[in-house]
Structure 1
Amino acid sequence: MTGMDPIVYRPARDELAYTFGGRMPVAHVRSGDVLDVVTEDCFGGLVRGPGDLPSQVCRMPYLNPVSGPFFVEDAEPGDTLAVHLVSITPARDWGVSSTFPHFGALTSTSQTATLQPPLQERVWVYGIDRQAGTVRFQATETEHRVDLPLDPMIGTIGVAPGGMESRSTIVPDSHGGNLDTPELRAGATLYLGVNVHGAMLALGDGHARQGEGEACGVGVEIATTTTLIVEVIKGMPTLWPRLETDREIMSIGCARPLEDAYRIAQRDLVAWTSALTGLEELDAYQLVSQAGRAPIGNVCDPNYTVLAAVDKALLPAAAAAYGGVHGRLRQRSAGPR
C-alpha cells in the first residue's frame, strides 16, 4: 500500500469499548489515513473451549467489544465517512461459536416468548488454517467434520449515533453497529453517515465466516488484525449504511420486524440507483426488483439486518458512487506497502 505508514492500535483489555457514543477517542486520525486495528472476538477472548460456556465466563453487558473510537479530523454531521476494508486477518488459529438459551433465530426470546424449554448452551471450537484458507467444523455429538472456506468479515463497525445517544455494540441501526453481514469483507467500502464531530469510528466482532442470517446468533468468532483506510466525503449525507464492492452497490436496513429492515434497504437502494443513473424512481424500482439481491445479515440481534444489492454493470450509465472513492481506495490498497 502506498501513501504512508499505518496507524497501529492494539487495545489493552480495559480499553475495549461496549458502546457507540459516550466514549472518549483513543486516537485522532485524518482523512486518508491507514489504520491497523487489533480487534477482540465477541466474547472478549474468554471462550476458548467447550467448557467455557459464555453465561459462565462472560458478564453482561460486556459482550461484543469494539476497538476505538477513532476521532476523524474534519468529519462533521452531514458528511459521510468511507471506510475501506483492506484486509482482515485472524489473530489466532481457532475460533468459537455457540448456542444460547434465549438468543438466536430458533429459540424463544424475551421478545418472542414461548413455553418451550430454553435452548441448550453449547460451544463449538473451529480450527482455522490460514494457509489452506479453511475453517474446520467439528460436530460435538458425532465424528462428522468438514472444512469450510475461510471468509473473514467484521461483524460490528460504526460511528457514534446523533442526539448525544450511546448505543450498545450489540445493536445495529442507522449508525452502523452490529451489522453482521458477510459482505463486510476485505475489498468492500462501507459508507456511514456522520452524526457527531469526529465521527467516532469503532470496530470489532470479527468472524472467520458466517452464514447469511447468522441463524444461531453467533458466527465463527475470532480476534483479528484489520487494516482499513478512512476518507471523509464532505457535504454528502448518508441516512443508512451503504456498501460498495467492485461488483455491487448495497444498502443496509436495520429494524424489527424483518419486513421493516427489508423495506429500509430496498427504499434506499432504489433512491441510490435513481440518483446514480438518472432513472425515474419507478423505473429504478422496477430495475432493482428484477435485478437485485436481498441477502440477510442477521435475524437475532435487537434489530435485524437486511441488505439490498444490485450489480453495477446492470445500471445504465451509472455515475461513480460518492465521486469514485471506492475505486480510489481499492487501487491504493492494492499497491505495495
Structure 2
Amino acid sequence: MDVIEYVPTREQYTYTFGGAAPVMRVTPGSVLRIWSDDAFGGALRSVDDLSAEKVDLRFVNPQSGPFYVEGAEPGDTLALHLVALEPARDFGASAAIPFFGGMTSTDRTVSLQPALPDTTWIYELDRERGTVGFAARHSEHRLELPLEPMLGTVGVAPAGGEVRSSLVPDRFGGNTDTPEMRAGTTCFLGVNVEGAMFSIGDGHYRQGEGEACGTAVEGAMTTTLIVELVKGGAPGWPRLQDDDQLMVIGSSRPLEDSWRIANADLVGWVAELSGLHTMDSYQLLSQVARAPIANVVDANYSVVVKAATSLLPPVNPYDGLHADLRTRARSLGSV
C-alpha cells in the first residue's frame, strides 16, 4: 500500500473540529503518515519556559487536518486504525498551568485559593531504551518511565454545523485523552458531515489515567493510520476496538454522566453484536466491564467503559474490520 505523507505548516494548524476547509481528500483504504505538533505548539522547550508567558490557551492542541474522506456521508461510520505512533522530537513537555487541571481551582470550580505555581517539566526521550525521563523540579529525584505513545485528540466535524474547540471531547470524538488511543487500536466515529472531516493531534509520549494536572508528556508525533469507511451504522459515541477489548468513550459533566453514556452504549453494542437481551447484556457487563477515567480536566470529562472480548459471547463488530485492518497494518511492517 502507498503511504500518503502529510506535514502541516504552522499556518495550516487548526484548533477546532468543524469549521475548517479540508487539507486533503483521501479515499477509504488510504494509509496516511501524519505529523502533528504537541499541545503547546512547541512553545515549552525548557523548564524556564512558563505557560503563562508562552502558551495561549485559545491556541492549544493544534490539529493536523481536517481530511475529507471520499464517499463519507452523515450516518456512516469512519474507522481509523492506528498503525504506529512515533515520537517526532527527543523531548516531551508537561506543565502545571495556572487555574487549569484536576487538582486546582478553575473557571468552573471556583475558590479563593491562589493558582498552583506555574511549573514546567521536560522529559528527555531515550529511543533506544524506550523511556522518557522524569526529573523532579524540587529535588534530585530522577526516574525512567516507559514510553507509551497515544493521541489525545481524534475526531470528526460535529453535527449541525457546530464548531468545537480542540480542547473539547464529545460525540464527535475530539480531546478524549484516553491512553487506549494507541497503536493497534481502531477508532470508530459517526460521520456527521459530508467527507467526515477528521483531524488528529495532541500526541502524548505517556499519560496517566485522568491526566490529573491537565497535561500529559506532550510531544510532537508521527502517526501512521489506515482510513476505512462503513456505510451506515454510525455509533452515537466514539467506539474503540483492539485485539482484546471493546470500548466506548463517554464525555460530559458531571463525571458520572460520562460513565453512564459509555456504559449504556457498550450495553447496547454488546446486545446488538451477541443477540443478548439488553437486560442480560447489562447484567453481564456489570460483572466484567472496567471503567478507567480518561480525563477530568477538559471542558467535558471522559470515561472509557471497556470489556474483554474473552468474557463476552462471540462478537464480530463491523464484520471483522478491526482484524482486517490489523492484517493490513502488518503488511506495512508494523504490528
Q: Do both share a fold (TM > 0.5)?
A: yes
1:17-96 matches, cutoff 5 A: 17-96=14-93
The residue number in structure 2 matching 1:273 is: 270
TM-score computed with the length of structure 1 as normaliser = 0.98
Shift of 1:52: 1.1
Aligned with 1:152 (options 149, 174, 183): 149
Shift of 1:59: 2.1
User: Do the aligned residues in 1 keep the contact of 2:41 with 2:61 (CA within 8 Å)?
Assistant: yes
The residue number in structure 1 matching 2:96 is: 99
Shift of 1:336: 4.1
Shift of 1:58: 2.0
Q: Distance in 2 between matches of 1:60 and 1:132?
A: 33
Whichever residue aligns with residue 322 of structure 1, its letter is Y
1:100-115 matches, cutoff 5 A: 100-115=97-112
Q: Does 1:333 align with 2:325?
A: no
The residue number in structure 2 matching 1:317 is: 314
Shift of 1:46: 1.0
Q: Distance in 2 between matches of 1:145 and 1:265?
A: 37
The residue number in structure 1 matching 2:193 is: 196
Give the RMSD, CA atoms, in angstroms. Answer: 0.8
The residue number in structure 2 matching 1:187 is: 184
* SS of corresponding position for 2:48: coil
Change (3 A) 1:97 1:162: same
The residue number in structure 2 matching 1:128 is: 125
Q: Distance in 1 between matches of 2:160 and 2:81?
A: 26
User: Do the aligned residues in 1 keep the contact of 2:18 with 2:164 (CA within 8 Å)?
Assistant: yes
Q: Distance in 2 between matches of 1:194 and 1:336?
A: 27
Q: Does 1:244 align with 2:241?
A: yes
Whichever residue aligns with residue 274 of structure 2, its letter is T
Q: Distance in 1 between matches of 2:24 and 2:86?
A: 22
Shift of 1:257: 0.5
Q: Distance in 1 between matches of 2:310 and 2:57?
A: 45
Q: Distance in 1 between matches of 2:9 and 2:332?
A: 30
Shift of 1:5: 1.2
User: Do the aligned residues in 1 keep the contact of 2:52 with 2:98 (CA within 8 Å)?
Assistant: no
* SS of corresponding position for 2:59: coil
Q: Which runs of 5+ in 2 are unaligned?
A: none
Whichever residue aligns with residue 324 of structure 1, its letter is G
Q: Distance in 1 between matches of 2:290 and 2:278?
A: 18
Q: Distance in 1 between matches of 2:332 and 2:30?
A: 16
Q: Distance in 2 between matches of 1:267 and 1:34?
A: 33
* SS of corresponding position for 1:190: strand
Q: Distance in 2 between matches of 1:12 and 1:54?
A: 23
Whichever residue aligns with residue 141 of structure 1, its letter is H
The residue number in structure 2 matching 1:300 is: 297
Q: Distance in 2 between matches of 1:336 and 1:282?
A: 42
Aligned with 2:259 (options 255, 259, 262): 262
Whichever residue aligns with residue 183 of structure 1, its letter is E
User: Do the aligned residues in 1 keep the contact of 2:239 with 2:249 (CA within 8 Å)?
Assistant: yes
Q: Distance in 2 between matches of 1:164 and 1:316?
A: 39
Tell me how many residue pairs correspond in the alignment: 333
* SS of corresponding position for 1:146: strand
Shift of 1:48: 0.4
Q: Distance in 2 between matches of 1:259 and 1:212?
A: 16
1:278-293 matches, cutoff 5 A: 278-293=275-290
Q: Does 1:10 align with 2:7?
A: yes
Q: Distance in 2 between matches of 1:28 and 1:321?
A: 27
* SS of corresponding position for 1:267: helix
